[in-house]
Amino acid sequence: MVCIVFLKVAIALTPLIPIVSSILIPLLRLFTRRKVLFNIILLSTVFIDTILVFYTSYHVYFQDSIIVYCFSNWFPPIGICYVVDKLSIFMSTILVTIYSIVSIYTIWYSRHIPNYYFFYTVLLIHLGGILGLFYTSDLFNIYVMIEVIGLSAYSLVSFYHNKLRSLIASTRYALLGAFYTTLFLLAVMFIHISLGTLNIADLSIKLGFGENYIGSCFLENTTTLNNGYVLMALVLIIWTTLFLSAVFPNHFWLPSAHSEAPSPASALLSGVTVGVGVYVIIRLLYLLMHSSVLDIIVEGLVNTLMILSVISIFYGALMMSVEDDVKRILAYSTILNIGYVFMGLSLGTPYGVSASLLHFLNHSIGKASAFLSIGVFIRNYRSRNIHVLEGVGRENVLLTSFLTISLLHLIGIPPTIGFYSKLLLFQAFINSRAYGLALVVVLGTAASAYGYVRLIEHLWHPPIHGVLYRVEKIHLSTPVLVSLLILTTIMFTLGLSYQWISHYMESTGFYATDPIMYIDSLCSVFRELHP
């Protein structure tokens, strides 16, 4: 009983704790300038959140429960409820793990930034926003959270405000983001005038998911369903989601934005912020997919997703091989990997979803590790051009080996867990008889392998036409070593223990595609709270 009370407090306060810290940082800056204090605030906030999320995930996974908390006990369509099930806690666990590792790295990185406290502030707001989005079950709350995440992401990209390029990249990102979130607001309007409710579970019931729920759960509207409005709303929401995750036609902001951000921010933006779109699509598509009313429409949308993700994969692989800027190579590889994730999602089976989620986990770990190690190179040799950085890898063997392991993990070489996600994707496509998509997995891996290996090769081999002047070896300080070591250990540990975690991946996939327990838990809370 005490556990349930503490769990509810935990999930309600987890998104609010980083925000409180982000308010304290500028306030304390007025009184003191000691860097140690701000480092302690950042690390302690992120670690408290990590502990809370891990504790919640232990309960959700091992005791198979869904934790629901409705704010101030107002019943669901009227109030906002946080519903934490396996999908939410899986994405939140990835988020806080990457965040704690990147925070350790940021302690070293912020030595070179004059206004580092502002960086910490925006990082913490970003964390609070994404956590709030993963926990909520209300469509308008998702809109507000997307705005919080977006604005803090734009500030992170434009952090170096003396460079014109980062300002332009951030402005492009911000203009597009503001336009797309206005479309999301239009979608909320269409849903409100046709269905009258904004709770995700309630939407799913009203769209015909559970015929035996109507009348006994949530408030009932007296209207008949108007398909046109719901279709428009669904299309607008999915379009915004494709923008957030940078799938092919809406990806043009990503290479500039993720390469101009400071390296720890790039790691976070590429690792976890693109997962926001993945989460929103899994939630909405699978809650609405089983409804009898929207069958044909959802099928068309899913086919579109499939085509766009295949184009994303090949476009990302192609552009990765011709770029000269090291961070842009990694940014295009983000587009490639998100293409894989969406390809798995567009299958519609639980195996596809669990393969996509595992691939997203791998991409987060590998991309964070790659950006962090590249950040050390860039910070020390003051250049991002791949031709200028030729041959520096030979002097810094440890750092280059971290980078090489993370890139091999992204390609998918066996003892790292990157291999298993591609294997799962391949199996899921073969199981659903989508042989063309299975071929795309293999071809995409081959195409991207050239891009990754080219990066390592340029770093390792001395330049052919030119003189290798003597570079000095980088002294790796402790935070950098710790963060890169933790990430590499995770890659190998998860890979070697794959048969134990595959069970959890499968159960998460099944949970995500069959939302009956989600709706059930919200309905029982509604019956408790409704007078």
Partner 1 sequence: MNQQVLLLNLFLLSIITNIIIAVYGFIWRPNLVKKIIALTIINDSVCVLLVYTGYRTVNPVPPVHKIPYNISYSRELLVRSVDPLVQAFVLTAIVIGLAFTIFLSVMALRIYELSGTVNIHKLLSIEVFEREVEVVEE
Partner 2 sequence: MVSKVSRRVIVLFMLLAIVVVSSIVISSLNMLLIPLTIEERVIVDYFIKYSYNPYNLSTSTPAIVNAIVWIFRGLDTVYETIVFYTSIVVSLSIYYEYLTEASRDRHRLSLIPRTVARVSLVAALTVGVILAINGYLSPGGGFQGGAIVSALIFTLAILYSTSYVLSYKVNYRQLIILRSIGLLGILSIMTYLVVHTIIAKPILRPSTIYLQWLVVNGHPIPIAIILYNIFELATVASGFAILYLVIIVAGYRVSSS
CB-wise, 159 or 286, nearer to partner 2? 159
238/229 Cα distance (integer angstroms)? 14
150/101 Cα distance (integer angstroms)? 22
Contact of residue 182 among partner 2, partner 1, none (CB under 5-8 Å per partner type): partner 1
**H or E element that contains 455:** helix 435-460
Q: Which of residues 115-134 bind partner 2 (CB under 8 A)?
A: 115, 118, 121-122, 125, 128-129, 132
What number of other Cβ atoms are within 10 A of residue 208's Cβ? Answer: 16
DSSP string, 283-348: HHHHHHTT-STTHHHHHHHHHHHHHHHHHHHHHHHHHHHH--BHHHHHHHHHHHHHHHHHHHHTT-
CB-wise, 77 or 418, nearer to partner 2? 77
8 A C-beta contact, residue 180 and residue 240 = yes
8 A C-beta contact, residue 358 and residue 91 = no
CB-wise, 132 or 509, nearer to partner 2? 132
Give residue 293's identity as a one-letter amino acid code: V
Binding mask 10-49 for partner 2 (x = CB under 8 A): --xx--x--xx--xx-xx--x-------------------
Applying CB under 8 A, does 435 fall inside the site for partner 2?
no
Applying CB under 8 A, does 489 fall inside the site for partner 2?
no
Which window, 32-40, 113-121, 231-239, 289-297, contacts partner 2 (CB under 8 A)?
Answer: 113-121
Tokens linked to 33: 């300038």
Stated length of the chain? 531
CB-wise, 125 or 459, nearer to partner 2? 125
Closest listed residue to residue 260, CA positions, set 146, 160, 374, 133: 160
Burial 363-402 (b: 16+ CB within 10 A, else e): bbbbbbbbbbbbbbbbbbbeebebeebbbbbeebeebbeb
Residue found under tokens 């000269």: 324
Contact of residue 72 among partner 2, partner 1, none (CB under 5-8 Å per partner type): partner 2
Binding site for partner 1 (CB under 8 A): 140, 144, 147, 151, 154-155, 158, 160-162, 164-165, 167-168, 170-171, 174-175, 178-179, 181-182, 185-186, 188-189, 192-193, 256, 262-263, 325, 378-379, 382-385, 387-388
Contact of residue 531 among partner 1, partner 2, none (CB under 5-8 Å per partner type): partner 2
517/345 Cα distance (integer angstroms)? 20
Minimum gap (Å) between residue 206 Cβ and partner 2: 11
Which window, 53-61, 74-82, 276-284, 450-458, contacts partner 2 (CB under 8 A)?
Answer: 74-82
Binding mask 78-107 for partner 2 (x = CB under 8 A): xxx---------------------------
Among 34, 36, 72, 382, binds partner 2 (CB under 8 A): 72
Minimum gap (Å) between residue 75 Cβ and partner 2: 8
Per DSSP, 416 falls in state: S
454/216 Cα distance (integer angstroms)? 60
Q: Which parts of this chain interact with partner 2 (CB under 8 A)?
A: 5, 8-9, 12-13, 16, 19-20, 23-24, 26-27, 30, 69, 71-74, 77-80, 115, 118, 121-122, 125, 128-129, 132, 140-141, 144-145, 147-148, 151-152, 155, 158, 161, 192-194, 196-197, 219-223, 528-529, 531
